[in-house]
Homo-oligomer: A and B are copies of this chain.
Amino acid sequence: MSLALPLLHQIEALILASDEPLSLQRLRDLTGAETTDIRTAAAEIESFYADRGIRLVQVGGGWQFRTAPEFAEVVQGLWQTRAPKLSRSTLETLAIIAYRQPTTRAEIEALRGVKTSSNIVAGLQERGWIKVVGRKEVPGRPHLFGTTKQFLTDFGLNSLRDLPDSSQLLDEDEIQQIITDNQTEESELKDAEAQTTESSNEVYDDEAEA
């Protein structure tokens, strides 16, 4: 018990709620604690759970709670009667890819307002619902994602055209509301788009006029 309990418990709560493994860096940003204290706390949590049903493990550069391997079989039983649900973050990511394809992770993150974990994208690829359709010619050459035939089949669609237009998903009042709300926030959002559209916009406009 070398540490103040709150830090240990804060870290425990953060790791449980996080969408992705939490790195030391992220934990430091979130708690404001020192590296050594975080390491000590994580080690304490790890040893605390060492012989329980839950384990704290280090994966993909961060910490995550997982079930203890010896209970694999019983845990497996969970999905024999009911398939797992798609998480909200997964659904949002998939919806953005469906509507905005071809799109990059940066755009998905700009729209969701949250960092999108690579787990989610990898999971969707594994599920066969999205695929890389190209790369975007911006620094870093990020992948461009699109949906697959499998996606259409599984969601009962003949083509993407069967998806309702985005404007139909909201009614007049809601659109009006959004417009009012956003007039004040307009500037904040400029940044996110600047990267994806504006620069290329200009190029296109020039060439079109030429």
Partner of A13, one of B14, B51, B53, B80: B53
Which residues 1-45 of A sit at the B interface, judged by CB distance below 8 A?
8-14, 16-20, 29-31
Q: A31 contacts which chain B residues (CB < 8 A)?
A: 74
Q: A174 contacts which chain B residues (CB < 8 A)?
A: 119
Count the copies.
2
Which one, A81-89, A139-147, A196-204, is touching chain B?
A: A81-89
CB-based contact B19/A84 at 8 Å: yes
CB-based contact B114/A30 at 8 Å: no
Q: Decide: A78 near B17, CB < 8 A? Known: A52-B9, A53-B11, A54-B12.
A: yes
A interface size (C-beta, 8 A):
40
Q: A84 contacts which chain B residues (CB < 8 A)?
A: 19
Interface status of A91 (Cβ within 8 A of chain B): no
Interface status of A155 (Cβ within 8 A of chain B): no
Chain A, residues 70-96, CB within 8 Å of chain B (1/0): the string is 010011011111001101000000000
State in angstroms the CA–CA spacing of A171 and B113 once bound together: 26
CB-based contact B79/A13 at 8 Å: no
Interface status of A65 (Cβ within 8 A of chain B): yes
Interface status of A195 (Cβ within 8 A of chain B): no
Which residues 179-204 of A sit at the B interface, judged by CB distance below 8 A?
none
CB-based contact A12/B52 at 8 Å: yes
CB-based contact B30/A71 at 8 Å: no
Shortest CB distance A100–B (Å): 19
State in angstroms the CA–CA spacing of A83 and B26 once bound together: 14
Q: A52 contacts which chain B residues (CB < 8 A)?
A: 9, 12
Q: Can you list 17 A-B contacts (CB < 8 A)? A: A9-B51, A9-B71, A11-B53, A13-B68, A13-B71, A13-B74, A14-B53, A14-B67, A16-B54, A16-B67, A17-B78, A18-B78, A19-B85, A29-B77, A80-B114, A81-B113, A119-B171
